[in-house]
Amino acid sequence: MVMRFDGRTALITGGAGAIGFAIAERLTAEGARVVLLDRYEDRAMAAAEKLPGAQGFGVDVADAEAVAAVYEMAEGRMGPIHHVVSVAGQMIYKNLEEISPSDWSALVGVNFLSVAYLTSLAFGRMPAGGSLVYVSSIHAWQTSARVGPYAAAKAALNSLARTASIEGQAKGLRVNGIAPGAIDTPMLRESPNIKAGLEVLAPADVGLPEDVAAAAAFLLSDEARFITGETLRVDGGRLAKL
């Protein structure tokens, strides 16, 4: 395998989850040292132990001050952070009239504000030549009932990627997004919408975490040096169908 990330460090939120860990594995295989963030420290540490040279930290990614402290700690242990991948996400399944203000705050905090905070932090500290990838969702384009906060936050994430790409150019930083479709993860398998038949998937519509990881590795790498401000759909062509 080509070592596109030799000597570089990548920080991944949601790094102990299915997609986050697949990205961490792919980047490690290509020479990166990775920092895995997860809400639960034991999960972060256990995931990091599976990868050579990795570090794991437990942190609430919606807590800007806590993330800043972890970012600084990671830099102290591993040197400059060259790449950031924001994967952490959360869904609930409620009709709009059932969603409380605290639900909105929590979901927008994890799915959008955490990425905004981390982008601000990285833009002040990341060396030129660095890159960021936001993991969005096809729900930003086409969605279903009972996932309003998640879909809205992911749409906002796509917009943030465009703005960040413009501001990042002067710093020598690139920002792109990935919008996975249905990916074989616990979040998909436990979806009440799928179990209730509100969302129907054909087997061909379901991809693997490794599919997202391959796209992330490309967008983070220097091979994508002329790509910024884009959100790449990784959905097996699901949204292309009429």
- Tell me, yes or no, whether 4 lies in a domain: no
CA 123 remoteness from chain centre:
17
Pairing status of strand 231-234 against strand 33-38 = unpaired
Q: What pLDDT, on a 0 to 100 scale, did the predictor assign at position 111?
A: 98
pTM over 0.85: yes
- Tell me, yes or no, whether 28 lies in a domain: yes
Give the CATH number of the domain where residue 87 resides.
3.40.50.720
- Tell me, yes or no, whether 3 lies in a domain: no
Report the mean per-residue pLDDT for the chain: 96
82-91 residue pLDDT tens: 999 999 999 9
18-72 residue pLDDT tens: 999 999 999 999 999 999 999 999 999 999 999 999 999 999 999 999 999 999 9
Q: Domain span at residue 53?
A: 9-236
71 is catalytic: no
- Tell me, yes or no, whether 98 lies in a domain: yes
User: Hunting for tokens 């509100």 — which residue is that?
Assistant: 198
- Tell me, yes or no, whether 1 lies in a domain: no
Write down the catalytic residue from 71, 117, 134, 150.
150
3-15 residue pLDDT tens: 999 999 999 999 9
- Tell me, yes or no, whether 241 lies in a domain: no
Answer yes or no: is pLDDT of 242 > 70: no
- For the chain, the domain total comes to 1
Q: How would you label 105-120 residue by residue, b for 16+ Cβ within 10 Å and e otherwise?
A: eebbbbbbbbbbbbbe
